[in-house]
Amino acid sequence: MTLPALRFQQVEIRYGATPVLQGLDLQVEAGECLALVGLNGAGKTSLIKCLLDFIRPDGGRIEIFGQPHDQPASRSALGFLPESFIPPYYLKGAEFLRYVLSLQGLDYHAEQVHAMLAALDLAPAALEQTVRQYSKGMTQKLGLAACLLAPKALYVLDEPMSGLDPRAHALLRQQLAALRARGSTLFLTSHNLADVEMLCDRLAILHAGQIRFIGTPAQCRAQYGTATLEQAFLACIE
C-alpha cells in the first residue's frame, strides 16, 4: 500500500487566543498535485509552517510519508518554496544556488542550473548578479530554481506563481506538470483558480479553520452547480 505524502489529522493552530485552524483533516496522496485554496488569512501558510516544524501545532498530528513531521528525517523528502522568498541580498545568484544545493549534499552542475534557469525564463546573466540587483520576479525565479533543482518526492510550494510575468507563469506550469509526471507530489497554495483547474488533480478549500471541500475541480463545480471554479469557490465559502 502506498503511504500518503501528507496526512494532517485534527490539526489545531492558535495565535494567542485566536484560533486559525480548528481540527483540520487533510490527506495528500503520493503523486498527486493538490492545491490548498482559501481567502487571505485563512491559515494556509500557518499550516505549511506547522508542517515544516517552524511552529508547533496546538493539537493534532502531521505525517510526511508516514513519519511524524517533527522528526527532521521526515522532511528530507520535501522541497519547500516559502510565500515570501528573500535570499541574502549580498550573494550572487550562482553563489546562492551553490549554497542551497550544498546544504542538501548536492553538487552544482552548471548545465543543470542553466537548464533550470531556461525552464523558468531567468537569464543566465542573473547567476553573476547579486540578488540585490534582482527584480521581484527574478527573485521568485531564483527561489523556484533553488527548490526545484533538488530532486524530491514532495514539493511544498506556497504561492509559487507570485510575481511571475505571463511567460514565466506558463513555463512554471509546464515545469510543475513535468515534475508531477515524473512522480513527485505537489502540495501548493494558490489564489489563481485557473492554474488550479489546469494543473491540479484536486483542490482543498480552507475556510473558517477547516477544509470545507476536497475533490477535483470538476467535482467542485458540480457540487456547487456552477460554471466556473471561481463561482464554486465563492459558493463554498458563503
Interface residues toward ligand ATP, by CB under 6 A: 15, 20, 38, 40-46, 83
**Closer residue to ligand ATP (CB): 2 or 40:** 40
Nearest distance from C-beta of residue 20 to ligand ATP, angstroms: 4
Nearer to ligand ATP, 92 or 212 (CB): 212
C-alpha pair distances (Å), 128 with each of 95, 139, 147: 8, 14, 19
Q: Which is nearer to ligand ATP, 176 or 205 (CB)?
A: 205
To the nearest whole angstrom, how small is the minimum distance from the Cβ of residue 43 to ligand ATP?
A: 4
Per the CB < 8 A criterion, the answer to whether 46 and 39 are in contact is: no
Shortest spacing between CB 197 and ligand ATP, in angstroms: 18
Pseudo-torsion of CA 39, 43, 46, 50, nearest 10°? -130
Q: Which residues of 146-233 form beta strands (DSSP E)?
A: 154-158, 185-189, 202-207, 210-215
CB nearer to ligand ATP: pick between 14 and 92:
14
Beta carbons of 21 and 209 less than 8 angstroms apart: yes
Assign 12 to helix, strand or coil: strand
Within 8 A by CB and 6+ apart from 15, the residues are none
Least distance CB 232 / ligand ATP (angstroms): 18
Measured in degrees and rounded to the nearest 5, phi and psi for residue 212 equal: -85, -30
Burial label, 56 (beta-carbon count in 10 A; 0-12, 13-18, 19+) = exposed
Closest-CA residue to 74 (of 89, 64, 82, 60): 64
Residue placing its CB nearer to ligand ATP in the complex, 44 or 75 = 44
3-state secondary structure at position 237:
coil
Which triple of cell numbers denotes residue 46? 500557518
Which residue lies nearer to ligand ATP by CB, 3 or 194? 194
Q: At closest approach, how far in Å is the CB of 47 from ligand ATP? A: 7
Shortest spacing between CB 80 and ligand ATP, in angstroms: 14
Say which DSSP state 79 is in.
E
Minimum distance between the CB of residue 173 and ligand ATP, rounded to whole angstroms? Answer: 20
CA distance 97 to 67: 29
Cβ nearer to ligand ATP, comparing 50 with 119? 50
